[in-house]
Structure 1
Amino acid sequence: MSARQLHLNAFLMNTGHHEASWRLPESDPHAHVDLAHYARLARTAERGTFDSLFLADGPVLFNDVGQRPSGSLEPVTLLTALAVATEHIGLIATASTSYNSPYNLARRFASLDHISGGRAGWNIVTTAGAEAARNFGLDGEPAHAERYARAEEFVDVALKLWDSWEDDLVVADKAAGVWGDGTRLHPPRHAGRFFRVEGALNVPRSPQGYPLLVQAGSSQDGKRFAARYAEAVFTAQQTLDGARSFYADLKARAEAAGRNPDHLKVLPGIVPVVGSTEAEARHHERVLEEHIVHEHGVRRLEHLLHRPPGTLRLDGPLPDDLPPEDAVEGAKSRYTLVVELARRERLTVRQLIGRLGGGRGHLTFAGTPEQVADTVEEWFRSGAADGFNIMPAVLPSGLDAFVDHVVPLLRARGLLRAEYGGRRTLRERYGLPRPANQHVTVPALV
């Protein structure tokens, strides 16, 4: 058995990551609000001994409602229900630093960590897009650098709140009539540029100390933020060389920030389309592509590229006059990834929509279980990944296929555990230490 093991996260999205997945006969168009659907997926991922599962979110209605199932259950609420339906798997949710307050968010995640027995994770995002901004009374989205400055202060305040209770504050001395030791309470009394937070959190310090901190931005600001705070990074990478470069850069940044680079796990996204033969896998992929409504894809691509409606030609290339990443205030890294993919492979808009339909820029791979396992192993062993964000094109069948046919191969190759081996926290699954409380001095070893 290899000493270094894969970390697998199941990224769950209603009927699947492919935009046309809901149109297949097997799919339930109402699955996005069905707890039983998500509970089944969570138990399947747990059967595959995944480290964690992940629910994306945003404070805006994603997609044209004509395109695919839209709207979603609030993720921390849903994960609280899934905590009861599972025993081992980590539970990660997106929450925005742009449109939340540190106190309420810190309370929600501390509560989830208690309820789940230490399995909570927070995917930290800085929400882009004018649509979300207008939902919160703003005329337009804050600038990219401004969003990250707010995010840094937000996380700093959340950490103060999670550390506002020392672990041994509760003494529960019934004879003396003393429940807690007030000298071990540390209100943040924070007054900063974006936030003023006075009092201690109203939830005790949780089993993990605080939830696993996850981040997904790959812009320069995103990578600087990840090097300082992130313990796991979800990233979209199209090529092995690009993934290696990103991996090395992020590890070096973490080390330069004074952190152990092994305490930052890099998980590229992969959309596996699995078939018993390569021809069968290609057929599954082709069926999905045939169900794409290209008009939806054009509108979405025009929005991403900041082009006026009706300016992209379906059978033509991307325009030559697209702005550089520095001029984009939205999702910078995803913008660059899509443009570079189209330029590198000389794709028409129609072909680009087909490539993005499965994973919105994440690596899509159709093949046999052996071919999928080969790809995972190559990236893992060659310094491109610590694990993978598995994004099935169709749910539940895509996750079933990965767990039933790819996972056994990864186990046979010594890359993945065969069983969980007892109750552990999400941090322990990811090989991370429990963080010390910033208010407690740890005695030096002599």
Structure 2
Amino acid sequence: MARQRQIKLGAVLTGVGGPGAFNTWLDPEIPGDASIDIDWYIAQARLAEEAKFDLVFIVDSQFITADSPPHYLNRLEPLTLLSALAVATDRIGLVGTLTTSYNDPFNVARRFASLDLISRGRAGWNVVTSGDSGTSANFSQPEHFDYDTRYGRALEHVRVVQGLWDSYEDDAFPRDRATRRFLDASKQHPLNHRGEYFQVAGPLNLSRSPQGQPVIFQAGDSDQGRDLGAAVGDGIFTHAATVEQALAFSTDLKARAEAKGRHPDHVLILPGISVYVGDTDDQAREIERATQEADGGFEQSLAEFGRAFGWHDFRQYPLDEPFPADTLVYAERSFRTQAARIVDLASSNGWTLRETVEAVSKPRRTPFVGSPVTVANELQRWFESGAVDGYNIHIGHPSQTRRLVDEVLPILRERGVVRSEYEGTTLREHLGLPFAENRYTVARGVTTEVEAVPALV
């Protein structure tokens, strides 16, 4: 019997505050060192697991300036962190960000396969290409890769990693003491990859997990980013201001995936959102406004404004003169799509630099705000429209997280659109994705049935 389609839920943990939330750390309920406090992460992961979230999501980057958000200035490395969470939780998926631009495929394959085994099949890799152009200086490179190279390299990188994850078939280790046979060598497979960017012999020195391979997530809104997501992404981390925008993105991404021979239902659209809950809709809107104003500020927004432009410092320009559109050149190897939108907005509206920064960073009404019933209705409406398959929810102020978990999710659970219990043990099972069959086993015409291994407690 087909399982009822349900909303997928991810918890994005950004500790003391990410982009646009510079002052989140001032909340007395958040430890001042939350972003490096393993006890804080364990508490958040366990809370999300109790609420039957599908996964926790750890974002990352490898370049900072003094103007970076507090969480970015001082945070734990994702795979190390998630390995600790793996032994402190039982069911929840564990998704971490690693860049294809500044990691070798063999190391990425080994690290995520290790996390997948430690967690008994709950690992996911968020594939990024590094938008911060300054990252190159941390890896002995004279300059950051251009867009075409970043995404060409990323696709090959992921394919190599997936090939390495299939180095062993699922029954490659008989471990038969009677015959003194540890390995069935016919089921160990070198990769012998020689491509445009990588040469990797293999095999990987690690077996597969109960879900076959870690789940692949991807985020990118440029044409190259969408094509990469359509080619390799099981989950797509995106952003949308309206249900119409979300539906257009979902339709485009799933059509691209289908054109590449993939099943569109196996590409899950999971936008990042914030949720604000009040006793009434009006009170919730006031909480949203007050929170956004308290967490932000013009001077901080101006300092961080240049991130999309390769961290170009916009404080050198007069605030009340026309926006310097020629600065788009600094974004060529950075977050070009985002920067181009900002330049287009400023030019089409004739804004000054001050007006542009204010427009980009000002408090704005977001979709998932209101009483518990209003928020539940909106989450369900987007989902049932086909615009999304679920949500990656930014975990910010603890009081709002509690209201989401205690007041909104029970409504959706009663309606049957959010799970009451985990049905499986792996991240693929949580997300309704098929077991990742080993390519060599499939080539022999055999379907492997892997017995689930109990999760660590």
For normalisation by structure 2, the TM-score amounts to 0.88
Check conservation: 1:171, 1:181, Cα contact below 8 A. Answer: yes
Identity %: 41
Match of 2:379 in 1: 376
Give the CA deviation at 1:344: 9.3
> Deviations along 1:374-395, whole A, 9 cap, x unmatched?
221121111210111111332x
Q: 1:209 aligns with which of 208, 212, 226?
A: 212
Task: Say which of 173, 176, 191 aligns to 2:176.
Answer: 173
Distance 1:62 1:267 in 2: 29
Q: Cα 1:444–1:203, aligned 2, differ >3 Å: closer, same or farther?
A: closer
Partner of 1:352: 360
Say if 2:325 and 2:343, in contact at 8 Å, map to a contact too: no
Aligned to 1:430: 431
> Shift of the alpha carbon at 1:342?
7.1
Verify the 8 A CA contact 1:318 1:349 in the aligned structure 2: no
Q: Is the 8 A contact 2:309 2:336 kept in 1?
A: no
Contact 2:276 2:400 in 1 (8 A): yes
Structure 1: which 5+ runs fail to align?
A: none
Number of the residue aligned with 2:334:
330
The CA distance in 1 between the partners of 2:329 and 2:252, in whole Å, is: 21
Q: Is the 2:288–2:369 Cα contact (8 Å) retained in structure 1?
A: yes
Q: Distance in 1 between matches of 2:65 and 2:44?
A: 22
Displacement after TM superposition at 1:173 (Å): 1.5
Give, in whole Å, the separation in 1 of the partners of 2:209 and 2:9.
Answer: 24
Task: Report deviation, 1:412.
Answer: 2.0
RMSD over aligned CA atoms reads 2.8
Q: Which residue of 2 aligns with 1:8?
A: 9
Structure 2 residue runs of 5 or longer lacking an equivalent are 448-457
Instruction: Give the whole-Å Cα distance in 1 for the aligned partners of 2:171 and 2:324.
Output: 61
C-alpha separation in 2, matches of 1:400 and 1:322: 42
More moved, 287-296 vs 241-250: 287-296
- AA paired with 1:242? Q
Matches within 5 A, 1:253-402: 253-288=256-291, 289-305=293-309, 308-310=313-315, 323=328, 328-336=332-340, 348-355=356-363, 365-394=368-397, 396-402=398-404
Alignment of 1:24-103 (within 5 A): 24-61=27-64, 64=67, 70-103=73-106
- In structure 2, distance between residues paired with 1:444 and 1:173: 22
Q: How has the CA–CA distance of structure 1 residues 82 and 4 changed in structure 2, closer, same or farther, with 3 Å as cutoff?
A: same
Compute the displacement of 1:314 (Å): 5.8
Task: State the alpha-carbon separation in 2 of the partners of residues 67 and 444 from structure 1.
Answer: 51
Q: 1:316 to 1:51 in 2, by over 3 A?
A: farther
**Does the 8 A contact of 1:20 with 1:68 survive in 2?**
no
Amino acid at match of 1:208: Q
Shift in Å at residue 154 of structure 1? 0.7
Q: Which letter maps to 2:432?
A: G
CA separation of 1:303/1:69 partners in 2, compared to 1, >3 Å: closer, same or farther? closer
Classify 1:134/1:27 alpha carbon distance in 2 versus 1 (closer, same or farther; 3 Å): same
Q: CA deviation at 1:287?
A: 3.2
Deviation track 1:316-346 (CA, whole Å, cap 9, x = no partner) reads: 8855667499x73322343355567778998
> So what's the TM-score if we normalise by structure 1?
0.90
Q: Partner of 2:106: helix, strand, or coil?
A: helix
* C-alpha contact (below 8 Å) 1:44/1:399 kept by paired residues: no
Q: Does 1:136 align with 2:139?
A: yes
Change in CA separation of 1:334 and 1:408 when aligned onto 2, cut-off 3 Å:
farther
Retained in 1: the 8 A contact 2:15–2:396?
A: no
Question: Residues 84-123 of structure 1 correspond to what in structure 2 (within 5 A)?
Answer: 84-123=87-126
Query: For 1:88 and 1:405, how far apart are their aligned partners in 2?
Result: 23
Other structure's SS at 2:237 match: strand
Q: Structure 1 CA distance, aligned partners of 2:332 and 2:370? A: 36
Matches of 2:156 and 2:3 in 1, distance apart? 39
Q: Do 2:125 and 2:216's aligned partners in 1 also have CA atoms closer than 8 Å?
A: yes
Equivalent-residue separation in structure 2 for 1:91 and 1:198 (angstroms): 28
Residue matched to 2:455? none
Distance 1:389 1:405 in 2: 18
Q: Distance in 2 between matches of 1:115 and 1:167?
A: 16
Query: How many angstroms does 1:228 deviate by?
Result: 0.8
**1:186 deviation in Å?**
0.5
Q: How many equivalent pairs are there?
A: 437
- Deviation, 1:27, is 2.4
Q: CA deviation at 1:139?
A: 2.1
| Alignment partners' CA distance in 2, 1:355 and 1:255 | 38
